[in-house]
């Protein structure tokens, strides 16, 4: 028998009976639970859960939603249901540095990342040939102080037109406006070089080298109006030493940024990330 796979995420105030209520309804549909994760935030008394399950081919989104309605209403749950048979669509934004973009495209090509890139948007022409090689529509929208609002409206229109589920800022070196950040909240991921201390402005890896930093790293987070301070999805650090050149720092940073961003995108597209105020609950596999 052919089966379909769905992921459901839910959050609500914690109290007894939540898991039983949801799993009982899924059992009534003949669902088989493949993976289940849960977390109780004792400070806020919020309960978070993700269930991946399979159902017979004839059972669809409407039947699942209808079956779960009593439990959702009873516990006042905030839920999201994702059909794993539908390939998520993403828009990638990039400037001149294309390492994170190329890593995402590679991971999609080899099947580790299940996504369809419906567009690449850039304020430079540098990645056009990359897009053309992959038959991906390329939008070169130069951003200035005078046309920023207009270009951001074009991005929103593109997201709507393509049905994109996620916008990925793969080293897109333009600050999004507060309005756009709010419109895309929870649906836009940025990659940020993060050091101890953090260096802002031009050539951050060179600044880190000059200061004798011993750790470099990267942080993938949701975009918010607070620049580089959105809810964190994934991070990684790597030790560096005085024997390394500034160019070595840059090379290490490129690798870390690419890996961290790809993992964050995968976690999001697999419904493994749930927002918990200014933080995230991440149900990583394994």
- Catalytic member of 14, 41, 126, 228: 228
In the numeric block, which tokens belong to residue 232? 């964190």
Contact 53, 32 (CB under 8 A): yes
CA neighbor of 143 nearest in space, from 130, 161, 124, 162 = 124
Contact 166, 138 (CB under 8 A): no
Q: How far apart are CA 202 and CA 66, in angstroms?
A: 53
Q: How far apart are CA 83 and CA 61, in angstroms?
A: 8
Residue 228 annotated in active site: yes
- φ, ψ of residue 174 to 5 degrees: the values are -125, 135
Measure CA 206 to chain center: 28
Q: Which residue has the tokens 């390492």?
A: 99
Catalytic residues: 228
């Amino acid at each position: 028998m052919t089966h379909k796979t769905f992921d459901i995420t839910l959050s609500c105030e914690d109290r007894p009976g939540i898991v039983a209520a949801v799993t009982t309804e899924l059992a009534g549909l003949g669902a088989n639970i493949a993976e289940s994760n849960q977390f109780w935030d004792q400070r806020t008394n919020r309960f978070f859960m993700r269930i991946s399950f399979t159902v017979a081919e004839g059972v669809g989104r409407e039947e699942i939603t209808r079956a779960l309605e009593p439990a959702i209403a009873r516990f006042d749950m905030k839920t999201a249901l994702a059909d794993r048979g539908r390939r998520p669509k993403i828009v990638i934004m990039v400037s001149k540095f294309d390492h994170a973009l190329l890593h995402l495209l590679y991971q999609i090509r080899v099947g580790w990342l299940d996504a369809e890139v419906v567009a690449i948007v850039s304020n430079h022409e540098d990645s056009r040939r990359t897009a053309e090689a992959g038959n991906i529509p390329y939008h070169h929208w130069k951003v200035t102080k005078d046309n920023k609002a207009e270009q951001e409206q074009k991005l929103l229109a593109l997201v709507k037109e393509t049905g994109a589920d996620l916008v990925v800022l793969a080293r897109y070196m333009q600050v999004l406006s507060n309005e756009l950040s709010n419109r895309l909240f929870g649906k836009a991921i940025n990659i940020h070089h993060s050091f101890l201390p953090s260096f802002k402005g031009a050539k951050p890896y060179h600044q880190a080298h000059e200061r004798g930093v011993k750790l470099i790293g990267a942080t993938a987070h949701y975009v918010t109006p607070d620049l580089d301070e959105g809810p964190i999805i994934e991070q990684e650090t790597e030790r560096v030493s005085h024997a390394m050149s500034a160019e070595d720092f840059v090379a290490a940073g490129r690798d870390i940024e690419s890996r961290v961003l790809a993992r964050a995108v995968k976690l999001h597209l697999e419904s493994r990330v749930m927002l918990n105020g200014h933080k995230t609950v991440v149900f990583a596999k394994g």
